[in-house]
Structures are given as structure tokens and as C-alpha cells.
Structure 1
Amino acid sequence: MKIADHPPITLCMENFSELSRRAQVPKYNRAELVPGIVHFGVGGFNRSHLAVYLDDLLHHPAEPRWGECGIGLLPGDLKIHQALKSQDYLYCVLTRDASTRDLRLIGSLTEHIFAPAAQEAVLQRLSAPECEIVSLTVTEGGYFIEDATRRFCTEHSDVLHDLEFPLSPRTFLGYLASAAERRMRNGGKPFTVMSCDNVQGNGEIARQALVAFATLRNDKLGAWIEANVAFPNSMVDRITPATTEEDRHSINAAFGIVDKSPVVTEPFRQWIIEDSFAGARPRFELAGAEIASDVKPYEITKMRLLNGGHSTLAYVAAVLGYTLVSDAAADPLIHRLVQTYLEETTPAVPHIAGLDLNSYKASILHRFANPTIRDQVMRICSEASAKIAKFIMPTVPELLKQQRRPRVIPFVIASWLHAIRGRDDRGNSFTIADASGHLFTEFLAQGGGNAKLALNATSVFGDIASQSTQFVNDVQQNLDRLRKDGVYAGITSVIAS
């Protein structure tokens, strides 16, 4: 059938038969699904990741009929709530790279509740016995754990609100504490809280936040959660940029489907889940996830190679005037820089049985170069202080312990210090969003040329300024070269060293 010969159709169950002629559709009975997973934060990543794994699992006919109920916490979630509801909670996932374009309809989402307008409905769904798992993509800030001190922010206005008004929460913590209290009082079973945020030790952070919040409400409740609720750590990975109007038009034009809230993503996906659940769980391993006793080695590998590689690319790309990650990755010198960074960092990643590091590193380079994802350089540059502290700097002491002198990492730091001036090589201005940018006000005020002044920011760089004169000197030399000779000369020098 030629799609162009037929008018576009709206995504909904009434049109399911026709939709099946235009895209892959669920081959299971959605009416049989039970919302055993309640998920906070049904944005693009959740719908390209957990919901897709669940959709794949539902195609195993012998498996229990797990469904996902989504919760929108924020006022801005009303738009996606209305879109999904009008489509019977169906949506499209367009997976694409240079050689692939695949559209499928995902049916594992059974419901979406807009929490600000239906607080009791959310609490009832969380308190229902069929709810075995509460999963989260609320971003790092949603846990209210201070980055530098790891302290729970008891003074945050949303935390104070939820403590005062337990039946009308604003945060996932308020909802979970109230639902857990109902279960505790009624002799109900505990749920599992499964964070899917891109945060190291995400289960541990979720535990700290919820126990701290619940204890402020009721010591007994905090103790019950600590003793009974499970918080598995997980490592998640799939590049999923924000959907654009162009993406919606593309799906309409190519497949004849009108989807108000599609998701566009890459073919690659990865999910490592700690085997620590309070009750039943879907067998996600049948859909390609890996269940592990310890997630930390996978987290370290991803952060130091993938996330660190992203940062390595982004800072030089910003100064060179690139907008898209894929365009920067296609630049031969930047490609070589990232490749050299990955090789330098490899001795500082843990051994994982069965993981081919060479293949993993090759996949990183391939993913960065995917021209269809259109990931933004400035997205990767944002919050660079926190990213450098977590993704780049922990590698340095590991290499120094092995008597290895980092060559690329000092250049990455220098390229970031060069980038925060906010000017590219063409004279255009740009702004890098960074909550910790104030730490470098004095560095910039003095001309942006004194690397040690910047490296004294211990919340970002630790004690490296006092512990390694060589590292400081290497950063300074790279910064001097960038300022004098430009980015390409700097890259050429570092990859030749």
C-alpha cells in the first residue's frame, strides 16, 4: 500500500486495524494488561526505554500481563497527558540512524494520570495491591539531594509543602510516603521503587530521599520503608532527544499517522538492573535487559566512556560553532580526539565479564555520529561543572595510581575553560547553562587564562590543584595553546602526544 494514496489517520484504538498496515503494532490484548508498574515522569526517555522493554516483554505470551500507569507531576505534563489520553495511551517510537528507519506503536502504557488534577487517584493507584513497582524518571533534582554534600534538602519549598499537606503532594516523595503509609496501616505488601534516572547509585539516592522525607513525617513510617521497600540501582542508556514538530510531520508524511506525542530515538539501548525487588517483577531480561548483582561497574564504564566522551566532543564543538553532535562527530579531528580520550580512559574502567570494551567504544563513536538524532551540542555542554566532577575527574586519580599521565583529560578541561567564555571561533556568542557557573566568575573576570584559579574549585575538581602540579601545568599548557592557536591546533597537538 502506498501511504501517499491514503489520508493520514489518527492514532487511537478505533483505527487499530488500519494502523497495523502502516506500522508495527502490539500483538497482545491491551485489555488484559494490569498496571503493575506506576511510573512518575512519562517523558521521552521513559517511553523510549522502560515502556519499550515492557512492550517487547508483552509479546512473550506466557509472561504476566504487566502494564504501566504513567503519572504526570508537573503543570507542564498536562500537554502530554491530553495527547496520550486522546490516543488511548498509544504512541509511536521512531527508531532511526543513517541506515534504519523503523516505526512501531507501543501499547504497554495503559493509563496516564495528571496528578495536579487527580491527587487521590494517584494515591489509590499507588496503594492498590497490583502496584508492585513504582518507577521514576524525575531527573536528579527531583530527589532533593544536594550534589556537593549529599544532604537531603529539608528546607526546599516543595518538601515543606508535602510535609504540611500529605493529601495534596507536589513531589513523588509526598505521594510515595502517603501510599506507603496506607500500606503499612492496612498490612499491605511493600512496593519496589525503581529509579530509571541517569544518576549513579540511583536506587541508593531514591532510598535516601524517601526515607529522609518519610522520617520527617513519621519515624515509624521511615523505619517501615527502610526495612521493607526495595530500591534497586539501575543503569539506563538510550539517546532520546526532545521530539520536534518536524518529527511529527515526518511521521505523518512517511507513515500517514497523526501522533501528537511520538518519540524519536536511536537503535541502541541498554538497561542493567540490580536484582533487588520487594515483590514480583517483570522478567525484563527476556526483552534484553540484564539483571545483575552489582550495577556499579556498568555505571562507571558508561559514565567515564560514554558521558565523558560526550563532554570531550561537546566543548570543542561549541567553540568551533557546531550545533549538532552528529556534525561534530563527523569532523575527523574531533572523531580522533574522542577516540583518543576513550583509549586513555579505558585503564580506569572496571572489568566486566562478557563486555567487549572495543566493541562498546566503537558503538559510542557510531552513536555520536548518528545524523538522524539531531542531538544538540549545547544540551551536552549544559551543567558542565557537575558532569566534569562525575564523568571526567574520577578517572584522573585512577590513572595516576597506575603511573599513567593523562594527556587528553587536561585538554578536555582546558577546552571547557576556553568554552565558558561564551564565544565561538566565528565570533558568535553562546551561553552554557550551568548551575555552578558562579564558581568560575573570578577566573573569567581575570581574563580566563589562569587555569589554576579555576582548578581550585574543589567541588568540581577535588584536590587535584594541590595534589598534582603536573596536571595543573598540563591544563595550563593546553589552555594557552587554545587561546593562542585555536581549537584545531590544540586537538592536533594532544592526539599527537
Structure 2
Amino acid sequence: MVQLNARTLGALGEGVTKPAYDRAAVTPGIVHLGIGAFHRAHMAVYVDDLLAETPDWGIVGASLRRPDTRNALAPQDGLYSIAVRDGSGTLVRIIGSILEVIDANTERERLLSLMAQPEIRIVSLTITEKGYCHDPATGVLDEANPDIVHDLQEPTAPVSAPGIIVEALARRRAAGIAPFTVLSCDNLPSNGVTTGRIVTRFAALRDAALGQWVEASVAFPSTMVDRIVPATTDADRAMITEVTGLEDAWPIMTEPFTQWVIHDHFTLGRPAFDRVGAQLVADVEPYELMKLRMLNGAHSSIAYLGYLAGHAYVAEVMGSADFRAFIAGLMTEEAMPTLDMPGVDLGAYRDELLARFSNPALNHRTWQIAMDGSQKLPQRLLGTIRDRKAAGLSYRRLALGVAAWIRYAAGTDEKGEPIDVRDPFVERFEAIAADADGDAERLVAGFLQIGEVFGPDLREDAAFRQIVTEHLKALIADGAAQTVARNA
């Protein structure tokens, strides 16, 4: 089979859209750290839409941990397919905005050198919550993180994202080059503010004057990003080959919906993102909170409860009337009242989310969403719970989501089979589960001691502990499906 690359674009099947610009004229203006599936379904598409008019905003991606994406895209000259799917069918398009992918582990100096060049005006990130090397409960740099310890000892050979960014900024400062904008596209609360706090603190620990310069000179705009991107399967690859007539090592599957809200604050300019559908605003936080609490909070609850109930995919979960009612109630009765969004129809947003979750063409795995729960829970569920508690309001459904995470993270499903738990704290989970030996009260007590997740307030909150324990007992005794039905 002929592989997708710059030389074979002319052999594409009919109906497949290809780049409407001369890729040879495109030059890099953006370095993106953590070039996974989400970036390639989201920001890279917005940039692709603009390159015909402004070809100096091409993207150079960097893989920070594994070379998988580089290995897949290098033979394809950075080109890849994106398939937009819903119940009505599939539309396939070729994206050309990524010029190359650098493996930071083997080409670290080349990456740093590029980031220090004046033509790079934005460094963007999708490194997942754990990539920020921070305490997710407080949003501050985890100074004991092994990668941070390494990067402070060896600042010119960094391995963490904060270390890489600060080293590149230090080189620009030394050369008299204005700093790039650092643009987080991850699901963190106030992601720009959080990223700025982490990067500035790391820079100050490295050198006080550098920290002051970063704080005074670098822009860290906040963003809200939204598009559902399931993991690509071999069946997806086969479908892409059939449609395009070419082999693509790593195509992207996604939904029609896409949203990007950006605080319009950039050090050295930006592409005209607003001309291709992004919203440029003065304050992203209300949109971000809406998404974290309604979409992400619901998604995590679907993932843990759905997985425990035996559902492999989100659409399967939403096919259950009890689950659908539970998720609708979680958003309507518990999340929406904590949001202050004048002019935004939260009910319409909820209905849109329910429809997106029910998209039968996406095959979004509950196990995929369940990854790294320790990094996600503080933003997705616990912040809403804190607000509900402060107002003296019930948080029964949210607490069931927390209990389901504990049941899942303990590592054994309802059939007694092991769960492949992927989380930075998985060894701590295993120790807690072994000590608890299936006892709900001991499990909750053990998990609440993870201060990076629950903080000191929820750890000591007797009412919170009680309701989570009651839910966990029900999950263990009756299973997720029955427990959801009782709480729908």
C-alpha cells in the first residue's frame, strides 16, 4: 500500500480534502510540546485553516516522552488524516500544518535551539495534567518532582516541560530576543495562570533575575479547549486507507464539534484564530469552569461508573436510560447552579453535551477517559463539590463520581478481574487497596490521605467522607448500574 506523504497527495481518493496552500512556503512560528491526538484534532486544524493567508505560522511538534508520533509522521512529511464522524457519516481531510515532529529525548538541543529562535512566537502545550509537574490540589509547582529536581540540577539539559520552556526563555533573554507566548491547551483550571505560576516559580528557583524577567515579560493566556478525540484503532486505520487510497500510520478520529476560547494576550502576535472560529475574549475563566464542571466532570463520572458497569464506550453508557438521567441530573442540578454565565444558555449547552456523548460513531473508550484520575478529579469534580458544600447544597451525584473513581483506582472490577489503572499515583493506590482488603471505610480513609487530590479540607470533612463511603459500599455491594439507577 502507498503511504501518505507530500509526494502522494495527488493520489488521494475523491472527496478527501487536502491542504489548500503551498506547504513548501510554510515556515514555523509555533512549537507545540506534547503533540498527541488532541492537538492534531484541535489547534493544528485551526492553524491549517489559516496557512493559505499567513504561511509563517507553521507548527513544529515535540514529543516529550515517547517518539511514537514522530515515528508515525516523519515518513509522512508531517501529513495526517482527520476523520470527522457522527451518525450521518464520515468526512476525511488531510492536515498539513505540522511541518515536523522532534523527539525531545534524542533531539533535545535541536528543540531548545529552535525555541530560542525569534521566528518562534508561540510555544503551545497539550502535555496532560501530569506534565505540568504540579500539585493538582493547589496548582503550584511540585518542587520534589523528580523531573523538576533533575532540571534544577541540570538546567541546560531539561526533561520536563517547565524546564524546557525556561531554558529556551533563558536563551532568548541572553540573546536579547523577546519571549514567546506560552499557550496552554490542557484541561487545567485557569490554565494560563497556572502555567505562568509553575513556569515563573521554576525560573525563580533556577535564577531570581530570570524569574523576575519571566514574570514581567512572558504572556500566559488562558484557553478553553473542547473536542472529543477517541484513541485511534486498527479498524480506523483500515477505514482511512479505504477512503483515501493511502496508508496513514496515525490518523485522527473526532467529532464535528470543536471549540476554542482564548484570552487575547500574546507577546509577539498570533494567527487570526478568530477568523476560523475561535473566540477571543478578555476572560476565559467562566467558559473554562463551565467546560470543566459540565463536560469534564460528566465525562469522568461516565468513565468510572460506565467502566465498572461493563461499558467499553461512552455512547454505550449513554444508551442506558438510568445513566443518561444520572448524567443529566449531575449537570443540571449540581454543576449548573455553581456557574455564573450571563448570556449563556447552560441548558442548551447541557443538551449539546448529552448529544455529543451519545455519538455512536466515536467509539470513545471509558478506559481512555479514566486515565490519570488523580490529576483530573480536583478540577472536574472536587471544585464543584467545594462550591456546593459552601452553599449548603447537596452533591450526591458528584460524590458518587468520586466513589466510583476510588472503586476503579483500587484496581479490581465488579467481576473480580484486575483493572489496568494508568495514573502517576498507581503504586499508592495499590498499597491503599491492599491495606483496605475490600473494606469501603478503609478504602475511603486511605484515598482521602492523598493530599495532592483532596487537600486538607476534604480529607478532614466528616460529611464528605460519609457520603463517599456510603456510595462506595453500594458500588461494592450492588454494582455501578444499580447504584446509578438509585441516584438518577
Residue 80 of structure 1 aligns with an amino acid whose one-letter code is T
Is residue 314 from structure 1 mapped to residue 307 from structure 2 by the alignment? no
Residue 59 of structure 2 aligns with an amino acid whose one-letter code is E
Secondary structure, aligned partner of 1:393: helix
Tell me what 1:66 maps to. Answer: 57
Residue 117 of structure 1 aligns with an amino acid whose one-letter code is T
Tell me what 2:18 maps to. Answer: 25
Is residue 56 from structure 1 mapped to residue 49 from structure 2 by the alignment? yes
Residue 401 of structure 2 aligns with an amino acid whose one-letter code is V
Q: In the aligned structure 2, how far is the partner of 1:80 from the partner of 1:355?
A: 38
Cα shift at 1:294: 1.4
Structure 2 counterparts to residues 399-438 of structure 1, below 5 A: 399-419=388-408, 422-434=411-423, 435=425, 437=429
Tell me what 1:379 maps to. Answer: 368
Tell me what 1:3 maps to. Answer: none
Cα shift at 1:437: 2.5
Cα shift at 1:183: 2.1
Contact 1:418–1:479, Cα closer than 8 Å, also in 2: yes
Tell me what 2:437 maps to. Answer: 445
Tell me what 1:101 maps to. Answer: 90
Q: In the aligned structure 1, how far is the partner of 2:181 from the partner of 2:187?
A: 18
Q: In the aligned structure 1, how far is the partner of 2:376 from the partner of 2:132?
A: 17
The answer to which of 278-287 and 199-208 deviates more is 199-208
Q: In the aligned structure 2, how far is the partner of 1:331 from the partner of 1:71?
A: 40
Q: In the aligned structure 1, how far is the partner of 2:110 from the partner of 2:413?
A: 50
What TM-score do the two structures reach when normalised by structure 2?
A: 0.89
Residues 347 and 176 (structure 1), Cα distance of their counterparts in 2 relative to 1, 3 Å cut: closer
Residues 15 and 492 (structure 1), Cα distance of their counterparts in 2 relative to 1, 3 Å cut: closer
Residue 69 of structure 1 aligns with an amino acid whose one-letter code is V
Q: In the aligned structure 1, how far is the partner of 2:368 from the partner of 2:389?
A: 31
Cα shift at 1:222: 1.9
Is residue 252 from structure 1 mapped to residue 241 from structure 2 by the alignment? yes
Of 462, 477, 491, the residue aligned with 2:484 is 491
> Which runs of no fewer than 5 residues in structure 2 stay unpaired?
none
Secondary structure, aligned partner of 1:240: coil
Secondary structure, aligned partner of 2:49: helix
The answer to which of 334-343 and 240-249 deviates more is 240-249
> Which runs of no fewer than 5 residues in structure 1 stay unpaired?
1-7
Q: In the aligned structure 1, how far is the partner of 2:193 from the partner of 2:360?
A: 36
Secondary structure, aligned partner of 2:231: coil
Give the fraction of aligned pairs with identical amino acids, expressed as a percent. Answer: 35
Secondary structure, aligned partner of 1:138: coil
Cα shift at 1:139: 2.1
Is residue 271 from structure 1 mapped to residue 260 from structure 2 by the alignment? yes
Residue 126 of structure 1 aligns with an amino acid whose one-letter code is M
Q: Deviations over 1:33-87 (max 9, x none)?
A: 221111112111111111001112235x3x464211112233x21x322332211
Residues 176 and 330 (structure 1), Cα distance of their counterparts in 2 relative to 1, 3 Å cut: same
Q: In the aligned structure 2, how far is the partner of 1:280 from the partner of 1:243?
A: 34
Contact 1:385–1:437, Cα closer than 8 Å, also in 2: no
Q: Deviations over 1:402-421 (max 9, x none)?
A: 45333423433444455555
Count of aligned positions: 483
Is residue 189 from structure 1 mapped to residue 178 from structure 2 by the alignment? yes
Contact 1:273–1:290, Cα closer than 8 Å, also in 2: yes
What TM-score do the two structures reach when normalised by structure 1?
A: 0.87
Structure 2 counterparts to residues 18-417 of structure 1, below 5 A: 18-19=11-12, 21-59=14-52, 61=53, 63=54, 65-74=56-65, 76-77=66-67, 79-417=68-406
Cα shift at 1:135: 0.8
Q: Deviations over 1:185-210 (max 9, x none)?
A: 23222211111122222222322232
Please identify the structure whose Cα radius of gyration is greater. Answer: 1
Q: In the aligned structure 1, how far is the partner of 2:104 from the partner of 2:418?
A: 40
Contact 1:26–1:107, Cα closer than 8 Å, also in 2: yes
Q: In the aligned structure 2, how far is the partner of 1:406 from the partner of 1:124?
A: 50
Q: In the aligned structure 1, how far is the partner of 2:72 from the partner of 2:473?
A: 52
Residues 211 and 123 (structure 1), Cα distance of their counterparts in 2 relative to 1, 3 Å cut: same
Residues 15 and 412 (structure 1), Cα distance of their counterparts in 2 relative to 1, 3 Å cut: closer
Q: In the aligned structure 1, how far is the partner of 2:446 from the partner of 2:160?
A: 36
Q: In the aligned structure 2, how far is the partner of 1:122 from the partner of 1:250?
A: 34
Residue 286 of structure 2 aligns with an amino acid whose one-letter code is P
Q: In the aligned structure 2, how far is the partner of 1:114 from the partner of 1:386?
A: 25
Residue 265 of structure 2 aligns with an amino acid whose one-letter code is S
- What do you get for the CA RMSD once the two structures are aligned? 2.8
